[in-house]
Chain A
Amino acid sequence: MTVVNRNFAALGLGVAMTMGAIAVPAFAQDETIKVGVLHSLSGTMAISETTLKDTMLFLIDEQNKKGGLLGKQLEAVVVDPASDWPLFAEKARELIEVNGVAAVFGCWTSSSRKSVLPVFEELNSILFYPVQYEGEESQRNVFYTGAAPNQQAIPAVDYLMENEGVERWVLAGTDYVYPQTTNKILEQYLMDKGVAAEDIMINYTPFGHSDWQTIVSDIKTFGSTGKKTAVVSTINGDANVPFYKELANQGIKAEDIPVVAFSVGEEELAGFDTTPLVGHLAAWNYFQSVDVPENAAFIESWQTFMGNPDKVTNDPMEATVIGFNLWVQAVEKAGTTDTDAVLDAIIGLETPNLTGGVAKMLPNHHITKPVLIGEIQADGQFEVVSESELVPGDAWSDFLPESKMIEADWTAPISCGNYNTETKTCGGAS
C-alpha cells in the first residue's frame, strides 16, 4: 500500500505544480465585463506570451481608468495553457463556459490557434489573435490582428530583391505549420519572379534547436556561388539566440549574407549582444523605434505600468493593442458584448495604430497594416529602412494555386471564410 501512496504523493507534486499557475481573480463583482486572457505563462512559449498577458492587464487597467466599458468595469480572467496545444482548447472552454468571458485575447503559435478554433465556433465566442501567421484561414469567430503573409513575408522578399539585389534564397524555419506554409508561399512567389529552383534552399529544424553549426556552414557554402544570397528566417522562439550566435561566430556579416527574420523582435533581441548582428533585418508592422507621438506615449505608459524603464515593446503587443481597441469600439457601437452583435459591429471600424497609420477591420477579419523593414542596431533596437503604405491583410494567399481563387468575406451576402470566386460557392477549393 505504501508503494501506491508514495506514487500518488510524487504524482501529486507534479500536478500541484501545473495547477499552481492558474490564477483566478479574487474580486468577482456582478457588474463587470470579463475578458479572457489565454497566453502561456509557462513552458517554451512563455518567453514570448507572458508579455502579451501583461499587455492585456495594462490595456484593461487603462480602459477601467477611463471609466470601463458600457458603464461597467472590465475584469481580466487569466489562465495558463502552459505551451500545451490541447490544453489551450480546454482552457478556452473553461474561459467561455465557466467564467463567461465576453471575448478572449490569446494564442501565439498556429498550433494553439488551430486547437481552439472548434471551441470558439461551438460556443460562439470571440478570439483576438495577435501574432503574424501563415494565412490560409478566416474563421467567423476569430479576428487576426497580426500580419498575414502578404503583410510581412512578401514585402520583405521584395525589399531584399530590390535593395540588396538578392538572387539566391535560403528559407530556414522551425518545423511546424507557420514556417512551412509561409515557405510554400514564398517559394511559389520566388519561382513566379523567375528564381530558379536550384537557387532556393529550404531547411527545417526542430523547436528549440541549439546546434546550428552544420546549417550555418551550409548557408555559407550555398552563399558562395557568386550570386547575392539572403536568408529568410521563420525560426521561432528560443532557437534564434544560438542561431544568431553561430552566425556571428562563423563570421557571416549582414553585408555578405543578410538574414531577414519574421519572428525576431525587440523581446528576442534582449537575450543577447547584438553588436555582431548589425544590419541583419526583420520585417514587422511595428518597431519600438518608430518615432511618432502615439508610439512614444504608449511606450511611456507601458513602462510606467510595468515599473521598468527598460521594458521593450514589440509587434504582437501592438497587434494586441489594436485588437483590444477595436473590440472596445465594437462593443460600444453594438451597445452589448453579445457575440453576434459585436461580430457585425466590428467590420469596418478603424483605430489608430502605433506607427501613425490606421488599422481598419476588414470583412475578412484581418486588418490594414504598414509593412516595416528594420535593420538590427547595436542597442538591440531596429532602424526602419523601409516603410510601406497600409496593406490590407489577405487571408488566402494569391500566390498559391490552390488558394488564389478563395476569398474571405464575413459580411452579407457572402458571409463565408473560404468563398470560392470561381464556383461562387462557400467551401474552399474543392
Chain B
Amino acid sequence: MNAISLLRTIALFLALTLGLASPAQAQVADAELTPLVDALAPGNFKDREAAIGVLVATGDPRVVPVLEVLLEGELYFDEASGKVVFTSEAGGEGTISDPATGAELPDLTEDGLDKVKVNNGLRRVLRTAIGQMTLLSEDPGVRLFAAQSILRDADPAQLELLDSAIAAETDASIRRVMEQARAAIILKTPDASVEDWQAAIPVVQAIGGRDALNTLTTALNTAPEAVKPLIQTAIDGLARDRAVWDVAQNVWFGISLGSVLLLAAIGLAITFGVMGVINMAHGEMVMLGAYTTFVVQEVIRQNFPGLFDWSLAIALPLAFLVTGLIGIAIERGVIRFLYGRPLETLLATWGLSLIIQQAVQRIFTANIREVGNPTWMSGSFELGGLAITWNRFYIVIFALMVFVALLLVLKYTAIGLHMRAVTQNRRMASAMGIRTPLVDAMTFGLGSGIAGLAGVALSQIGNVSPNLGQGYIIDSFMVVVFGGVGNLWGTLVGALTLGIANKFIEPYAGAVLGKIIILVLIILFIQRRPRGLFALKGRSIEA
C-alpha cells in the first residue's frame, strides 16, 4: 500500500509541476518511464487507475499506445518479474517486447505472461486519458475521436486543455465537437460565470437527443439561479421533441415487429389461408430455414471466410429449396391423405413438428447456434431522433419484398393461376385439366419455402435453437385469422396492425400483460367478425 500512496503523491506532484494542460511532446527517459508502465500490473483497479494518472502526467507520446493496448485488454505482464510487456499477437502470443523501448525481450515466455485486467470503470478512465493525450494530435481523425471521448465524460479538469485545443483547431467540424465538449464541461462547473453558462446552454441544446437532455437535467441542480429558467426552457424544448420522436419510434418498433410477424405468417397464409391445411409444423419450417443459414455460415467460416458478408444471400435460395422440398415431401407423404379432415391434419402435423424438432436436436444438439450478423446488418443509424437498427431495417424491407413477390407469383404466373383455380373450385379446376395433386404439392412447397426464407431473416434477430419455430406458430395463426383467411393483403394489414398495437400497449402494460391484452382483443374481434379483417366473399368459402 505504501508504494501505491507514493505513486499517488508522485502523480500529484507531476500533475502540478508539468501541468495537465501542456502534454505536448514531453519525452521521459526510458529508465524513468519503464517503472511507471510496470506500475500498471500490481494491485487492484483503483491502484491501476492511479498508475494511469501518473503515466498521463508524463505527457510522453509512448504512453498512448500502452493505454490503447490496455483499453483493448491486450496488455500483459510477466508473472515472475512483474514487467509489463507488449505481445505481437492478440491473446498474449507472438514475440514479446518492451513497451517503452520497443526492444524484444527474448528471455520471457508466453506461458509466464498474465493479462493486465481492465474493467468498465478503468475503460472509461483510459478513454478519457487517451482523449486528453491525443487532443493535440496531428491526425484529424484522432483529434475528432479524442474530442468525442472528452465530450462523453465532460471532465472539468480538461477545460484548459480544451481551450488551447480549440484555439489551435483548424477543422470546423472538429472544433464544433470541441466546443460542445467545452459547453458540457461548463455545465458541470457551477462556479463558471453566468455569461459562460448562457453561452454554453444553446450549444448543448444543439447536440440534441437524450445526451443533451441528460446533461441539462443534471446541470439544472447546480446552475446559478440566473440561468435556471434558460435551462428549463431548453429542457422543455428537448423533451417536447423527444415526445414526438418517441411516438415515431414506437411506430417504427411496431412496423418492425409487424414485419417479423408478416414473414412468419405469410407462408402460413398460403398453406392455411389458401389450402385450408392447419399446418402445425409451419414453425419448424422457419426453424429449418434458420438452421440452413447456420450451416451455410459454418461452411463459409471454415472454407471461405471472405464471403461472410454474402452468407445470407447464399442462404436464402438454399433455405427456400430445403424447406420447400421438405414441404412437398410432407404434403405427398402425409397431408394429401388427410384433406378435408382438419382435426387429423392438425394432429399429424403437430406430430411432425415434434419429429422435426427432435431430429434437429439430435443433429445439432439443443444448444443455441451462433448465426452472425454480416457487418452491414450490425449497429444502428439515426434518422432524426429515431434510432433504427440495421438488422430490423433490412428485415422490414425483406418482408415487404417477399410479400410483393408472392403477390406477383399468385397473380401473374401459371402456377399462381392454377393455385387460385384449385382453391376456388377444386373439381371444376380438375375438369379443366389442371393436375390438382401437383398444384397442391407445389402450393404447400411454396408456403414452406417462404417459411424457410423467414427463418433466414429471423436468425438475424433471435435464437437459432430447435425451439425457434414454436415461438412463432401461435402468432402466425393469430395474424392469418385476424387478417382474414385466404387473403394475402389481410395478412399484411393484420401483421402490421398487431405489431403496432403491441408496441403501443407494451410501454404501459408491460410485455406480459401486453400480449394478453392483444389476445383478448383478437378474440373479441373474431367474435364480431369471424372471417377476419378482409373476408373473402363467394360460394367457395361456404363449401
Q: Is A29 an interface residue (CB 8 A)?
A: no
> Which residues of B are found within 8 Å of A61, using beta-carbon distances?
none
| Inter-subunit contact B120/A249 (CB<8 Å) | no
| Inter-subunit contact B471/A225 (CB<8 Å) | no
| Inter-subunit contact B372/A255 (CB<8 Å) | no
| Inter-subunit contact A271/B361 (CB<8 Å) | no
Given the complex of chains A and B, what is the CA–CA distance between A47 and B360 in angstroms? 13
| Inter-subunit contact B370/A217 (CB<8 Å) | no
Given the complex of chains A and B, what is the CA–CA distance between A273 and B341 in angstroms? 46
| Inter-subunit contact A6/B511 (CB<8 Å) | no
CB contact list, B374-401 vs A, under 8 A: 378-380, 387, 389-392
Contact with A along B453-489 (1 / 0, CB 8 A): 0000000011111110011000000000000000000
Q: Is B104 an interface residue (CB 8 A)?
A: no
| Inter-subunit contact A208/B341 (CB<8 Å) | no
| Inter-subunit contact B344/A255 (CB<8 Å) | no
Q: Take A10-B344, A279-B119 as given contacts and tell me if A267 and B367 are in contact as well, using a CB distance cutoff of 8 Å.
A: yes
Q: Is B62 an interface residue (CB 8 A)?
A: no
Given the complex of chains A and B, what is the CA–CA distance between A39 and B264 in angstroms? 31
| Closest beta carbon of chain B to A267's beta carbon, Å | 7
A377's partner among B73, B249, B369, B511 (CB-CB below 8 A) is B73
| Inter-subunit contact B390/A249 (CB<8 Å) | yes
Q: Is A23 an interface residue (CB 8 A)?
A: no
Q: Is A250 an interface residue (CB 8 A)?
A: yes
| Inter-subunit contact B379/A249 (CB<8 Å) | yes
> Which residues of A are found within 8 Å of B124, using beta-carbon distances?
255
> Which residues of A are found within 8 Å of B390, using beta-carbon distances?
249
> Which residues of B are found within 8 Å of A22, using beta-carbon distances?
none
| Inter-subunit contact B461/A164 (CB<8 Å) | no
Q: Take A6-B344, A10-B344 as given contacts and tell me if A258 and B120 are in contact as well, using a CB distance cutoff of 8 Å.
A: yes
Q: Is B351 an interface residue (CB 8 A)?
A: yes
Given the complex of chains A and B, what is the CA–CA distance between A175 and B367 in angstroms? 22
| Closest beta carbon of chain A to B280's beta carbon, Å | 10
> Which residues of A are found within 8 Å of B352, using beta-carbon distances?
13
Q: Is A71 an interface residue (CB 8 A)?
A: no
> Which residues of A are found within 8 Å of B115, using beta-carbon distances?
383
A273's partner among B215, B370, B467 (CB-CB below 8 A) is B370
> Which residues of B are found within 8 Å of A276, using beta-carbon distances?
378
Q: Take A204-B510, A249-B390, A270-B368 as given contacts and tell me if A279 and B123 are in contact as well, using a CB distance cutoff of 8 Å.
A: yes
Q: Take A14-B347, A226-B215, A238-B368 as given contacts and tell me if A21 and B358 are in contact as well, using a CB distance cutoff of 8 Å.
A: yes
- Closest B residue to A239 using CB positions: B463
A225's partner among B214, B260, B350, B378 (CB-CB below 8 A) is B214
Given the complex of chains A and B, what is the CA–CA distance between A209 and B462 in angstroms? 9
CB contact list, A369-394 vs B, under 8 A: 375, 377-378, 383, 385
Q: Is B506 an interface residue (CB 8 A)?
A: yes
Q: Is A205 an interface residue (CB 8 A)?
A: yes
- Closest B residue to A210 using CB positions: B462
CB contact list, B246-278 vs A, under 8 A: 249-250, 253, 256-257, 260
> Which residues of B are found within 8 Å of A175, using beta-carbon distances?
512
| Inter-subunit contact A43/B463 (CB<8 Å) | no
| Inter-subunit contact A241/B368 (CB<8 Å) | yes
Contact with B along A336-374 (1 / 0, CB 8 A): 000000000000000000000000000000000000000
Contact with B along A71-102 (1 / 0, CB 8 A): 00000000000000000000000000000000
- Closest B residue to A245 using CB positions: B461
Report the interface size for chain B: residues with CB under 8 A from the other chain: 69
Contact with A along B500-513 (1 / 0, CB 8 A): 00010011001110
> Which residues of B are found within 8 Å of A238, using beta-carbon distances?
368, 463, 465, 467
| Inter-subunit contact B465/A255 (CB<8 Å) | no
- Closest B residue to A15 using CB positions: B351
| Closest beta carbon of chain B to A336's beta carbon, Å | 37
| Inter-subunit contact A7/B344 (CB<8 Å) | yes
| Closest beta carbon of chain B to A77's beta carbon, Å | 20
| Inter-subunit contact A10/B358 (CB<8 Å) | no
| Inter-subunit contact A271/B370 (CB<8 Å) | yes
Given the complex of chains A and B, what is the CA–CA distance between A383 and B464 in angstroms? 26
Q: Is B145 an interface residue (CB 8 A)?
A: no
| Inter-subunit contact B214/A224 (CB<8 Å) | yes
B366's partner among A11, A47, A224, A251 (CB-CB below 8 A) is A47
- Tell me what chain B mostly uses at the interface: helix, strand, loop, or mixed: helix
- Closest B residue to A207 using CB positions: B471
Q: Take A3-B341, A20-B358, A385-B119 as given contacts and tell me if A272 and B506 are in contact as well, using a CB distance cutoff of 8 Å.
A: no
| Closest beta carbon of chain B to A280's beta carbon, Å | 9
> Which residues of B are found within 8 Å of A215, using beta-carbon distances?
506, 511
Q: Is A211 an interface residue (CB 8 A)?
A: yes
Given the complex of chains A and B, what is the CA–CA distance between A226 and B503 in angstroms? 27
B214's partner among A6, A18, A226 (CB-CB below 8 A) is A226
- Closest B residue to A21 using CB positions: B358
| Inter-subunit contact B351/A17 (CB<8 Å) | yes
- Closest A residue to B382 using CB positions: A251
Q: Take A50-B366, A210-B471, A273-B370 as given contacts and tell me if A249 and B391 are in contact as well, using a CB distance cutoff of 8 Å.
A: yes
| Closest beta carbon of chain B to A164's beta carbon, Å | 6
| Inter-subunit contact B380/A11 (CB<8 Å) | no
Given the complex of chains A and B, what is the CA–CA distance between A226 and B358 in angstroms? 49
Q: Take A163-B121, A206-B511 as given contacts and tell me if A17 and B354 are in contact as well, using a CB distance cutoff of 8 Å.
A: yes
- Closest B residue to A267 using CB positions: B367
- Closest A residue to B209 using CB positions: A224
| Inter-subunit contact B510/A17 (CB<8 Å) | no
B256's partner among A17, A213, A375 (CB-CB below 8 A) is A213
Given the complex of chains A and B, what is the CA–CA distance between A268 and B357 in angstroms? 20
Given the complex of chains A and B, what is the CA–CA distance between A213 and B211 in angstroms? 19
Given the complex of chains A and B, what is the CA–CA distance between A47 and B465 in angstroms? 8
> Which residues of B are found within 8 Å of A245, using beta-carbon distances?
373, 391, 461
Q: Is B365 an interface residue (CB 8 A)?
A: yes
> Which residues of A are found within 8 Å of B121, using beta-carbon distances?
163-164
Given the complex of chains A and B, what is the CA–CA distance between A14 and B344 in angstroms? 12
CB contact list, A231-275 vs B, under 8 A: 238, 241-242, 245-246, 248-251, 254-255, 258, 267-268, 270-273
- Closest A residue to B261 using CB positions: A211
> Which residues of B are found within 8 Å of A221, using beta-carbon distances?
210
| Closest beta carbon of chain B to A322's beta carbon, Å | 24
Given the complex of chains A and B, what is the CA–CA distance between A43 and B358 in angstroms? 9
Q: Take A268-B368, A270-B370, A271-B369 as given contacts and tell me if A208 and B391 are in contact as well, using a CB distance cutoff of 8 Å.
A: no
> Which residues of A are found within 8 Å of B213, using beta-carbon distances?
224
> Which residues of B are found within 8 Å of A21, using beta-carbon distances?
358
Q: Take A14-B347, A20-B358, A211-B260 as given contacts and tell me if A375 and B120 are in contact as well, using a CB distance cutoff of 8 Å.
A: yes
Q: Is B117 an interface residue (CB 8 A)?
A: yes
- Closest B residue to A258 using CB positions: B120
> Quick one: which of A50, A248, A271, A378 has the most chain B CB within 10 A?
A271
| Inter-subunit contact B387/A18 (CB<8 Å) | no
Q: Is A46 an interface residue (CB 8 A)?
A: yes
| Inter-subunit contact B123/A273 (CB<8 Å) | no
Q: Which 8 A-B pairs have the closest CB atoms?
A: A271-B368, A226-B218, A13-B351, A10-B347, A46-B366, A249-B389, A224-B210, A14-B351
Known pairs A14-B347, A276-B378 / 14 extra A-B pairs, C-beta < 8 Å: A7-B344, A11-B351, A20-B358, A42-B358, A163-B45, A164-B120, A213-B389, A238-B463, A241-B368, A245-B461, A246-B389, A248-B378, A249-B379, A378-B73
Residues of B in contact with A (beta carbons under 8 Å apart): 45, 73, 115, 117, 119-121, 123-124, 127, 210-211, 213-215, 217-218, 249-250, 253, 256-257, 260, 338, 341, 343-344, 347-348, 350-352, 354-355, 357-358, 361, 365-370, 372-373, 378-380, 387, 389-392, 461-467, 470-471, 503, 506-507, 510-512, 515
Question: 16 A-B Cβ contacts within 8 A?
Answer: A3-B344, A9-B348, A10-B344, A14-B350, A14-B351, A175-B512, A206-B512, A208-B467, A213-B389, A214-B511, A225-B217, A249-B379, A249-B392, A250-B387, A272-B370, A375-B120
Residues of A in contact with B (beta carbons under 8 Å apart): 3, 6-7, 9-11, 13-14, 17-18, 20-21, 41-44, 46-47, 50, 163-164, 175, 203-206, 208-211, 213-215, 217-218, 220-221, 224-226, 238, 241-242, 245-246, 248-251, 254-255, 258, 267-268, 270-273, 276, 278-279, 375, 377-378, 383, 385
